[in-house]
Structure 1
Amino acid sequence: MFNSAVKRKLEAGETVFGSFFKVDSPAIAELYGLAGFDFLIVDAEHGCFTHGQIENLIRTCERMGMSSIIRTPDAQETNILHVLDSGASGIQVPSLKSAAEVRDLIRKAKYWPQGERGSARACRAAGYGTVPDYETRANAETLVSVHVENKEMVEDIEALCAIPELDVVFIGPGDLSQSLGHPGNASHPDVVAAIDRVIEVAAGRKHIGTVVGNAKALDSYVARGVHYIAWLSDLGMIRGALNGAAANFAPYRATGDGK
């Protein structure tokens, strides 16, 4: 029952566009679909979601023709299992620090013979037991993305790109800047060099993703082969829209003397 459109588009060489999603609002998810986004990254690491809320957002994404990628809080087996059993199109896992940890993640996310994911065909992803070839299909269609957001992952990028079941390496400039000792300064030469290294090694071997917030950055990354694009987040865009609206009535605010 999950939508694997994003994985298929990436495999066809297309660029796909999504956004981090941090609020429990199916209505806002629908607006993303109406605007033409390809996927949402439901942020269970920094957002506040129950398993049931995530499942309903997965349903909403399916209805709107979008893929649902869940950024899990971590790589714990229960978190991986819940979102995939709910029918998520894929997972995006933060905070890992080595290719060995990613191989263990694959074990949790894939069924035999690629992994050891717990099997329960009565789950939503398997159509509650109505999809006879579910395990084979899930292995083939589930997208697996991991964050490259610390210096350890950058140093292990060669081994990371050698893992066949890994689909996307997602560059996190903000966390990477902190890991390299320059918090909040993604333009620091050390951070830029690390990003360059990841793109250089991963190009042609893995799909590459990152977060962008302006057209110049988008053009630059796409030209370098980054085709899995997260455009800001719902909260960032809502904040921008509200600030823009408030600017219209700012001149009508009372002055300090009460006039």
Structure 2
Amino acid sequence: MPNAEPTNQLRERVEDGGVAVGVLDSTYSPTLVEFYGDLGVDFVWLDFEHGGPDPWDGPTVENLLRAADRSDVELLVRLPDTDPTLVRKALDLGVRNVFLPRVETAAEIEAAVKSARFEYDGEPGNRGLGSPRARRWGLRENYVAVEDRETMVGTTIETREAVENIDEILAVPELGFVFLGPLDLSVAYGHPGEFDHPEVQDAVETVRAAAVDAGVPVGGLAFGMDDAAAKAENGYQILNLGSTTGALKEVVTGWLDEFGARE
């Protein structure tokens, strides 16, 4: 029904204190987005920073959103830039969950979060009031109130500056979550690829502890199911369990190894 009020199930899950689990679809396939939803994941991560279609390409993004709608799964979209205009574009297409790359200051995040709101922290927001797909082209009732309630904007913490400014970042009104990027932090701290380096782990723990204390949901990558369970116990509420290509690699190499063993 076009007038039905949409519910952001990812936001609902974390606000209720639960843990949302998802998969990175590195193929950017509407078919796989739909399939992942049928499999029962809470979200499909689409990373437009490191690959995929141009996020300005409305029709392509809309097809991914239609697939998500079909199987009742949320998209978690990482944008390639913090540009408030790009944030508004994604939301107007119907994305409800976006997160920002390579931020360094609270002011940068606040500008993006404010651009996603009609009302922000008791004042007017910076979102444009049109009749885009998110509004069902003018058919959706209570559009302003629903969008402000259901939209979630988060940020990746993946630079030294962001770690140093974490308290100010966590104080940004309506910040939906912080997502820890240990791989990029390993680069930022001079240890590329060594995400288990003590200096990198100290940075990760600094952010995790501060976010939990501030009541801001924490997201991150799970390196195996034991790590996922440990992170959930440690306060993480948004966990990426793996990727399409990673799952295919594991299965296909397993097939090939088994076949070779039987030759």
Contact 1:71–1:92 (8 Å) recurs in 2: yes
Question: Is it true that 1:181 corresponds to 2:190 in the alignment?
Answer: yes
Q: Does 1:102 align with 2:109?
A: yes
Q: Cα deviation per residue 1:21-67 (whole Å; 9 max; x = unaligned)?
A: 22231221122112210011111111221432221111111211111
The amino acid of 1:226's aligned partner reads Y
User: Structure 2: how far apart are the matches of 1:76 and 1:252?
Assistant: 55
Paired with 1:93 and 1:250, the residues of 2 have a C-alpha distance of 44
Query: Is this contact kept in 2: 1:169–1:207, CA < 8 A?
Result: yes
Partner of 1:53: 60
Task: After superposition, give the CA deviation of every residue in 1:159-207 in whole Å (9 maximum; x if it has no partner).
Answer: 1111121011000110011101111001100011111111111104200
Distance 1:148 1:16 in 2: 19
DSSP-derived class of the 2:138 partner: coil
Moved more, 74-83 or 134-143: 74-83
The equivalent of 1:214 in structure 2 is 224
Q: Per-residue deviation at 1:3? A: 4.6
Q: Which residue of 1 aligns with 2:96?
A: 89
Q: 1:51 is aligned with what amino acid?
A: G
Q: TM-score, normalised by structure 1?
A: 0.91
| Aligned residue pairs, count | 252
1:133 to 142, 151, 158: 142
Match of 1:171 in 2: 180
Per the TM alignment, residue 213 of structure 1 is displaced from its structure 2 partner at its CA by 2.7
Distance in 1 separating the partners of 2:124 and 2:192: 38
Deviates more, 1:185-194 or 1:13-22: 13-22
1:235 alignment partner in structure 2: 245
| Structure 1 gaps, min length 5 | 254-259
Partner Cα separation in structure 2 for residue 65 and residue 52 of structure 1: 20
- Per the alignment, in what secondary structure is the counterpart of residue 163 of structure 1? coil
Percent sequence identity is 29
With the length of structure 2 as denominator, give the TM-score of the two structures: 0.90
Contact 1:7 1:141 survives alignment (8 Å):
yes
Q: Which amino acid aligns with 2:39?
A: A
Q: Please list, as runs of the form range in 1=range in 2, the aligned pairs for 1:1-259 lying within 5 A after superposition.
A: 3-49=7-53, 50-112=57-119, 113=123, 115-120=125-130, 122-204=131-213, 205-251=215-261
TM-aligned CA deviation for residue 245 of structure 1: 2.1
Are 1:42 and 1:54, in contact at CA under 8 Å, matched by a contact in 2? no
1:126–1:134 CA contact under 8 A, matched in 2 = yes
Tell me how far apart the structure 2 counterparts of residues 107 and 89 of structure 1 sit (CA, whole Å).
14
Name the CA distance, whole Å, in 2 between partners of 1:187 and 1:114. Answer: 43
Matched AA of 1:247: D
Deviates more, 1:224-233 or 1:50-59: 50-59
- SS of residue paired to 1:127: helix
Question: Residues 151 and 176 of structure 1 are in contact (CA less than 8 Å); yes or no, is this contact kept in structure 2?
Answer: yes
| Separation of aligned partners in 2, 1:102 and 1:91 | 12
CA contact (8 A) 2:158 2:180 kept: yes
* TM-aligned CA distance change 1:78 to 1:21, over 3 Å: farther
**Partner Cα distance (2:9, 2:17) in 1:** 12
